[in-house]
Homo-oligomer: A and B are copies of this chain.
Amino acid sequence: MTATGVPQVLDAGTPYEEFRAALLADGLLYETGARGVYGYSARYQSVVAALDRLITTLGGDLFEMVTFPPVLARPTFDRTDYLRSFPDLMGSVHVFRGGDREHRLLARRYDEGGDWPELLDPSEVVLSSAACHPLYALASGNLPRGGRHFEIQNWCFRHEPSVDPARMVAFRMHELVFIGEPGAAQQYRDTMLDTSVEQLAALGLPMEVVPANDPFFGRVGTILATSQLEENLKLEGVTPICSEQRPTAIISGNCARDHFGGPFGITTADGAVAHSACVAFGVDRITLALLHRHGLDPSKWPGQVRRRLWR
Protein backbone atom coordinates (compact mmCIF):
# COMPACT_ATOMS: atom_id res chain seq x y z
CA MET A 1 0.00 0.00 0.00
CA THR A 2 1.23 3.48 -0.81
CA ALA A 3 0.42 7.11 -0.15
CA THR A 4 -2.97 7.16 -1.76
CA GLY A 5 -3.81 3.64 -0.66
CA VAL A 6 -3.43 2.05 -4.09
CA PRO A 7 -1.86 -1.40 -3.96
CA GLN A 8 1.24 -1.74 -6.17
CA VAL A 9 -0.05 -4.80 -7.99
CA LEU A 10 -3.64 -4.85 -9.12
CA ASP A 11 -5.50 -7.74 -10.65
CA ALA A 12 -7.08 -7.70 -14.06
CA GLY A 13 -10.75 -6.90 -13.86
CA THR A 14 -10.32 -4.24 -11.20
CA PRO A 15 -11.57 -0.72 -12.00
CA TYR A 16 -7.90 0.28 -12.51
CA GLU A 17 -7.34 -2.42 -15.11
CA GLU A 18 -10.68 -1.64 -16.77
CA PHE A 19 -9.92 2.08 -17.08
CA ARG A 20 -6.45 1.29 -18.41
CA ALA A 21 -7.90 -1.10 -21.00
CA ALA A 22 -10.42 1.56 -22.08
CA LEU A 23 -7.69 4.18 -22.53
CA LEU A 24 -5.64 1.78 -24.64
CA ALA A 25 -8.60 0.53 -26.69
CA ASP A 26 -9.66 4.09 -27.42
CA GLY A 27 -6.17 5.03 -28.60
CA LEU A 28 -5.58 7.69 -25.93
CA LEU A 29 -2.58 5.82 -24.56
CA TYR A 30 -0.25 3.35 -26.28
CA GLU A 31 1.55 0.50 -24.58
CA THR A 32 5.33 0.54 -24.90
CA GLY A 33 6.36 -2.83 -23.51
CA ALA A 34 7.36 -1.45 -20.09
CA ARG A 35 4.66 -1.36 -17.42
CA GLY A 36 3.69 2.18 -16.47
CA VAL A 37 5.42 3.69 -19.53
CA TYR A 38 3.01 4.92 -22.24
CA GLY A 39 2.91 6.73 -25.55
CA TYR A 40 0.37 9.58 -25.65
CA SER A 41 -1.99 10.34 -28.52
CA ALA A 42 -2.64 13.82 -29.90
CA ARG A 43 -6.04 13.81 -28.16
CA TYR A 44 -4.50 12.99 -24.78
CA GLN A 45 -1.68 15.47 -25.39
CA SER A 46 -4.14 18.28 -26.18
CA VAL A 47 -5.47 18.03 -22.60
CA VAL A 48 -1.94 18.04 -21.18
CA ALA A 49 -1.11 21.17 -23.18
CA ALA A 50 -4.32 22.90 -22.08
CA LEU A 51 -3.62 22.10 -18.42
CA ASP A 52 -0.07 23.43 -18.75
CA ARG A 53 -1.45 26.71 -20.13
CA LEU A 54 -3.97 26.92 -17.28
CA ILE A 55 -1.26 26.35 -14.65
CA THR A 56 0.95 29.01 -16.27
CA THR A 57 -1.96 31.45 -16.01
CA LEU A 58 -2.41 30.55 -12.34
CA GLY A 59 1.18 31.54 -11.67
CA GLY A 60 1.20 34.74 -13.67
CA ASP A 61 3.97 37.18 -14.45
CA LEU A 62 5.52 36.98 -11.00
CA PHE A 63 6.80 33.50 -11.78
CA GLU A 64 10.09 32.88 -13.64
CA MET A 65 9.58 29.88 -15.91
CA VAL A 66 12.39 27.34 -16.13
CA THR A 67 12.19 24.11 -18.15
CA PHE A 68 14.46 21.24 -17.19
CA PRO A 69 15.37 18.07 -19.07
CA PRO A 70 14.42 14.73 -17.52
CA VAL A 71 17.91 14.20 -16.10
CA LEU A 72 19.35 15.77 -12.97
CA ALA A 73 23.00 16.21 -11.96
CA ARG A 74 23.92 13.55 -9.42
CA PRO A 75 25.43 16.02 -6.87
CA THR A 76 22.12 17.91 -6.92
CA PHE A 77 20.19 14.68 -6.42
CA ASP A 78 22.46 13.79 -3.49
CA ARG A 79 21.71 17.10 -1.83
CA THR A 80 17.93 16.53 -1.99
CA ASP A 81 18.37 13.47 0.27
CA TYR A 82 15.74 11.65 -1.84
CA LEU A 83 17.78 8.44 -1.71
CA ARG A 84 17.25 8.18 2.04
CA SER A 85 13.46 8.41 1.86
CA PHE A 86 12.50 6.89 -1.52
CA PRO A 87 15.36 4.67 -2.74
CA ASP A 88 12.91 2.30 -4.44
CA LEU A 89 11.47 5.07 -6.67
CA MET A 90 14.66 6.66 -8.06
CA GLY A 91 16.37 5.94 -11.38
CA SER A 92 20.12 6.26 -11.92
CA VAL A 93 21.56 6.64 -15.43
CA HIS A 94 24.41 4.28 -16.25
CA VAL A 95 26.64 4.49 -19.33
CA PHE A 96 29.32 2.58 -21.21
CA ARG A 97 32.82 3.92 -20.67
CA GLY A 98 34.88 1.09 -22.20
CA GLY A 99 36.91 0.73 -25.38
CA ASP A 100 36.87 -1.69 -28.30
CA ARG A 101 37.69 -4.67 -26.12
CA GLU A 102 34.93 -3.95 -23.57
CA HIS A 103 32.50 -3.26 -26.41
CA ARG A 104 33.12 -6.75 -27.82
CA LEU A 105 32.26 -8.19 -24.39
CA LEU A 106 29.16 -5.97 -24.18
CA ALA A 107 28.03 -6.96 -27.68
CA ARG A 108 28.56 -10.66 -26.97
CA ARG A 109 26.53 -10.43 -23.75
CA TYR A 110 23.81 -8.55 -25.67
CA ASP A 111 23.76 -11.14 -28.50
CA GLU A 112 23.42 -13.96 -25.99
CA GLY A 113 20.48 -12.21 -24.32
CA GLY A 114 22.56 -11.81 -21.17
CA ASP A 115 22.63 -9.07 -18.56
CA TRP A 116 24.61 -6.46 -20.54
CA PRO A 117 23.54 -3.47 -18.39
CA GLU A 118 25.65 -4.77 -15.50
CA LEU A 119 28.73 -3.92 -17.60
CA LEU A 120 27.86 -0.21 -17.47
CA ASP A 121 29.12 2.48 -15.08
CA PRO A 122 27.17 5.19 -13.25
CA SER A 123 27.00 8.49 -15.15
CA GLU A 124 26.93 11.96 -13.64
CA VAL A 125 23.10 12.13 -13.85
CA VAL A 126 19.97 10.47 -12.44
CA LEU A 127 16.36 10.84 -13.57
CA SER A 128 14.41 13.73 -12.06
CA SER A 129 12.25 12.53 -9.19
CA ALA A 130 10.37 15.79 -8.79
CA ALA A 131 10.06 18.74 -11.15
CA CYS A 132 11.55 21.22 -8.69
CA HIS A 133 14.64 19.22 -7.70
CA PRO A 134 16.92 20.81 -10.34
CA LEU A 135 15.73 24.30 -9.37
CA TYR A 136 17.36 24.88 -6.00
CA ALA A 137 20.95 24.67 -7.27
CA LEU A 138 20.05 27.43 -9.72
CA ALA A 139 18.57 29.63 -6.97
CA SER A 140 21.51 29.36 -4.59
CA GLY A 141 22.76 32.61 -3.10
CA ASN A 142 21.02 35.62 -1.62
CA LEU A 143 17.36 36.20 -2.54
CA PRO A 144 15.82 39.61 -3.22
CA ARG A 145 13.41 40.93 -0.59
CA GLY A 146 10.06 39.23 -1.12
CA GLY A 147 11.74 36.03 -2.31
CA ARG A 148 11.46 34.47 -5.76
CA HIS A 149 8.68 32.63 -7.58
CA PHE A 150 9.40 29.92 -10.14
CA GLU A 151 7.32 27.89 -12.57
CA ILE A 152 8.88 24.52 -13.44
CA GLN A 153 7.87 21.84 -15.95
CA ASN A 154 9.56 18.50 -16.14
CA TRP A 155 9.28 14.80 -16.89
CA CYS A 156 9.64 12.84 -13.66
CA PHE A 157 10.50 9.21 -13.04
CA ARG A 158 9.24 7.03 -10.21
CA HIS A 159 9.88 3.34 -10.43
CA GLU A 160 6.58 1.88 -9.27
CA PRO A 161 5.27 -0.14 -12.25
CA SER A 162 1.53 -0.64 -11.85
CA VAL A 163 -1.56 -1.37 -13.92
CA ASP A 164 -3.15 1.71 -12.33
CA PRO A 165 -2.89 4.13 -15.26
CA ALA A 166 -2.55 7.02 -12.77
CA ARG A 167 0.65 5.49 -11.43
CA MET A 168 2.96 6.09 -14.37
CA VAL A 169 6.68 5.39 -14.19
CA ALA A 170 7.36 8.46 -16.37
CA PHE A 171 4.99 11.41 -16.05
CA ARG A 172 4.76 15.19 -16.25
CA MET A 173 4.83 17.45 -13.23
CA HIS A 174 4.22 21.20 -13.35
CA GLU A 175 5.17 23.14 -10.23
CA LEU A 176 4.71 26.63 -8.84
CA VAL A 177 7.48 27.25 -6.32
CA PHE A 178 8.23 30.01 -3.83
CA ILE A 179 11.53 30.53 -2.01
CA GLY A 180 11.84 33.20 0.66
CA GLU A 181 11.02 33.99 4.28
CA PRO A 182 9.69 31.10 6.41
CA GLY A 183 6.35 32.74 7.17
CA ALA A 184 5.83 33.76 3.55
CA ALA A 185 6.61 30.23 2.38
CA GLN A 186 4.02 28.72 4.70
CA GLN A 187 1.43 31.26 3.62
CA TYR A 188 2.28 30.72 -0.06
CA ARG A 189 1.71 26.98 0.26
CA ASP A 190 -1.70 27.47 1.85
CA THR A 191 -3.06 30.15 -0.49
CA MET A 192 -1.62 28.77 -3.74
CA LEU A 193 -2.87 25.28 -2.92
CA ASP A 194 -6.35 26.66 -2.14
CA THR A 195 -6.50 28.62 -5.40
CA SER A 196 -5.23 25.66 -7.42
CA VAL A 197 -7.65 23.18 -5.89
CA GLU A 198 -10.51 25.60 -6.64
CA GLN A 199 -9.40 25.67 -10.28
CA LEU A 200 -9.40 21.88 -10.46
CA ALA A 201 -12.83 21.76 -8.84
CA ALA A 202 -14.04 24.22 -11.48
CA LEU A 203 -13.04 21.63 -14.09
CA GLY A 204 -15.68 19.36 -12.61
CA LEU A 205 -13.40 17.30 -10.40
CA PRO A 206 -14.68 16.59 -6.86
CA MET A 207 -11.70 17.64 -4.75
CA GLU A 208 -10.75 17.00 -1.15
CA VAL A 209 -7.61 18.24 0.59
CA VAL A 210 -6.02 15.72 2.94
CA PRO A 211 -2.71 15.34 4.77
CA ALA A 212 -0.29 13.45 2.53
CA ASN A 213 1.22 10.19 3.62
CA ASP A 214 4.23 9.67 1.35
CA PRO A 215 5.47 6.10 0.83
CA PHE A 216 8.71 6.58 2.80
CA PHE A 217 10.82 3.47 2.45
CA GLY A 218 11.32 0.81 5.08
CA ARG A 219 11.44 0.95 8.84
CA VAL A 220 13.08 4.36 9.15
CA GLY A 221 10.45 5.55 6.70
CA THR A 222 7.66 4.87 9.18
CA ILE A 223 9.16 7.49 11.50
CA LEU A 224 9.58 10.00 8.66
CA ALA A 225 5.98 9.45 7.53
CA THR A 226 4.64 10.00 11.05
CA SER A 227 6.65 13.19 11.39
CA GLN A 228 5.43 14.47 7.99
CA LEU A 229 1.84 13.89 9.07
CA GLU A 230 2.25 15.44 12.53
CA GLU A 231 3.86 18.58 11.19
CA ASN A 232 1.32 18.94 8.39
CA LEU A 233 4.14 19.60 5.90
CA LYS A 234 2.45 18.11 2.88
CA LEU A 235 -1.16 18.30 1.78
CA GLU A 236 -2.67 16.57 -1.22
CA GLY A 237 -5.69 17.39 -3.32
CA VAL A 238 -7.34 14.06 -4.08
CA THR A 239 -10.14 13.08 -6.44
CA PRO A 240 -11.70 9.69 -7.12
CA ILE A 241 -10.48 8.25 -10.42
CA CYS A 242 -11.02 4.49 -10.29
CA SER A 243 -12.07 4.28 -6.66
CA GLU A 244 -14.26 6.39 -4.38
CA GLN A 245 -12.70 4.80 -1.30
CA ARG A 246 -9.15 5.40 -2.48
CA PRO A 247 -9.08 8.73 -4.28
CA THR A 248 -5.94 9.65 -6.22
CA ALA A 249 -3.65 12.59 -5.39
CA ILE A 250 -3.55 14.90 -8.42
CA ILE A 251 -1.95 17.94 -6.76
CA SER A 252 0.16 18.50 -3.67
CA GLY A 253 1.19 21.48 -1.58
CA ASN A 254 4.49 21.12 0.20
CA CYS A 255 6.27 23.05 2.91
CA ALA A 256 9.87 22.03 2.43
CA ARG A 257 11.02 24.43 5.18
CA ASP A 258 14.85 24.62 4.98
CA HIS A 259 15.18 21.19 3.35
CA PHE A 260 16.42 22.77 0.10
CA GLY A 261 17.43 26.26 1.27
CA GLY A 262 20.01 24.74 3.65
CA PRO A 263 21.88 22.27 1.42
CA PHE A 264 21.73 24.55 -1.64
CA GLY A 265 22.86 27.68 0.21
CA ILE A 266 19.81 29.86 -0.46
CA THR A 267 19.44 32.79 1.90
CA THR A 268 16.76 35.43 2.44
CA ALA A 269 17.41 39.15 1.94
CA ASP A 270 18.29 39.24 5.65
CA GLY A 271 20.82 36.44 5.30
CA ALA A 272 18.81 33.70 7.04
CA VAL A 273 18.39 30.25 5.50
CA ALA A 274 15.51 30.50 3.03
CA HIS A 275 12.43 28.30 3.24
CA SER A 276 10.67 26.94 0.18
CA ALA A 277 7.19 25.75 -0.63
CA CYS A 278 5.70 24.37 -3.81
CA VAL A 279 2.41 23.39 -5.34
CA ALA A 280 2.92 20.45 -7.69
CA PHE A 281 0.37 19.52 -10.37
CA GLY A 282 0.40 15.91 -11.53
CA VAL A 283 -0.53 16.83 -15.10
CA ASP A 284 -0.98 13.26 -16.32
CA ARG A 285 -3.09 12.38 -13.30
CA ILE A 286 -5.29 15.46 -13.79
CA THR A 287 -5.69 14.48 -17.46
CA LEU A 288 -6.73 10.96 -16.46
CA ALA A 289 -9.12 12.29 -13.81
CA LEU A 290 -10.81 14.50 -16.43
CA LEU A 291 -11.01 11.63 -18.96
CA HIS A 292 -12.50 9.37 -16.30
CA ARG A 293 -15.05 11.92 -15.14
CA HIS A 294 -16.13 13.54 -18.42
CA GLY A 295 -15.50 10.72 -20.89
CA LEU A 296 -12.71 9.73 -23.26
CA ASP A 297 -13.56 12.34 -25.93
CA PRO A 298 -12.58 15.85 -24.76
CA SER A 299 -14.59 17.40 -27.62
CA LYS A 300 -17.72 16.18 -25.80
CA TRP A 301 -16.81 17.44 -22.35
CA PRO A 302 -19.17 19.93 -20.66
CA GLY A 303 -18.95 23.39 -22.25
CA GLN A 304 -17.90 24.98 -18.97
CA VAL A 305 -14.92 22.65 -18.67
CA ARG A 306 -13.95 23.07 -22.33
CA ARG A 307 -14.11 26.86 -22.09
CA ARG A 308 -11.75 26.88 -19.10
CA LEU A 309 -9.26 24.64 -20.89
CA TRP A 310 -9.52 25.95 -24.45
CA ARG A 311 -10.68 29.53 -24.15
Contacts and interface: CB of A to CB of B under 8 A. Distances in A.
A181 B88 CA distance: 45
A130 to B, nearest CB: 15
A62 interface: no
B40 A67 contact: yes
Contacts of A7: none
A33 B73 contact: yes
A159 interface: yes
Contacts of A67: 39-40, 44-45, 48
Contact of A40 (B40, B66, B110, B127): B66
A106 to B, nearest CB: 6
A100 interface: yes
Interface string A29-65: 0111111011111101100100000000000000011
A74 interface: yes
A83 interface: yes
A64 B40 CA distance: 11
Interface stretch (A90-98, A184-192, A227-235, A275-283): A90-98
B30 A124 contact: no
Interface residues of A, number: 73
Contacts of A301: none
A34 B90 contact: no
B137 A69 contact: no
Interface centre among A73, A91, A134, by most B CB within 10 Å? A91
Interface of A: 30-35, 37-42, 44-45, 48, 64-76, 78, 83-84, 87-88, 90-100, 103, 106-107, 110, 115-118, 120, 122-125, 127, 134-135, 137-138, 155, 157, 159, 161, 168-171, 217-219
30 contacts: A30-B138, A32-B72, A32-B73, A32-B134, A32-B138, A33-B75, A34-B72, A37-B71, A37-B72, A37-B125, A39-B67, A39-B134, A39-B138, A41-B64, A41-B66, A69-B171, A70-B70, A70-B127, A70-B155, A71-B91, A71-B169, A71-B170, A78-B110, A87-B106, A91-B93, A92-B120, A94-B122, A100-B218, A125-B169, A155-B155
